[in-house]
Amino acid sequence: MESADEASKALLEKYRKGLVQIYTGNGKGKTTAAFGQALRALGQGYRVCVIQFMKGRKYGECLAAEQHLPGLTVHLTGLDSFVMRENPAPLDVELARQGFELARRAIASNDYEMVILDELNVAADFQLIPLAEIVNLIKDKPAGVDLILTGRYAPPELLALADTVTEMREVRHHYNAGVKDRAGIEF
């Protein structure tokens, strides 16, 4: 027998509207903002799945999830090398498509209240994944699932479907002053 508390929580959950958020633009902070949102959601009991496109290396957020954050699942789908926009390697395309299948399954699974598709905007812009399939994924998502897409160059077709769009604008970045990539800041 569930308590009144549990029953009202279940009811709230049933009618919760999952939002679509996009973090794009050329300033720093898109992926880390998505993980900040994940942290907040985890604290409120969500189960969160992150799929990182075009990333073949465990960044700090992935390591933190493994070590400290049960409830946050992170999948990497890509190589630890740059993808060429005009001429992506067949393996880059294959891995992005595998990641997309994983995303489809995660969104439909009922196992997660929030799904974050990190750098999917870039994978769309590079045409690693057909834009129409991403559009359908967003349109057909279960109502309760919160979805976040990150990455530069978000195509207008995706922006049009989002409830919230935030553009990170570069005002200054330490890279341009010669500061090298640093563990804990860049990865």
Interface residues with ligand ATP (CB under 6 A) are 26-32, 152, 168, 170, 173, 175, 186
Q: Is 35 exposed, middle or buried (0-12, 13-18, 19+ CB in 10 A)?
A: buried
Provide, rounded to whole angstroms, the least separation between the CB of residue 50 and Mg ion.
11
CB of 66 or CB of 111, closer to ligand ATP = 66
The entry of Mg ion, ligand ATP, none that residue 152 binds, CB within 5 to 8 Å by partner kind: ligand ATP
Q: In this complex, which beta carbon is closest to ligand ATP, that of residue 16 or of residue 174? A: 174
CB proximity list for 58: less than 8 A, separation 6 or greater: 66, 76
Minimal distance, residue 119 CB to Mg ion, in Å: 6
Task: Considering the complex, state which of residue 16 and residue 173 has its C-beta at the smaller distance from Mg ion.
Answer: 173
Q: Minimum CB separation from ligand ATP for residue 51, in Å?
A: 14
Q: Which residue lies nearer to ligand ATP by CB, 9 or 174?
A: 174
Cβ–Cβ contacts within 10 Å for residue 82, how many? 9
- Smallest CA-to-CA distance from 83 within 74, 75, 95 is with 95
Residues 6+ positions from 125 with CB-CB distance below 8 Å:
85, 151, 152, 153, 154, 155
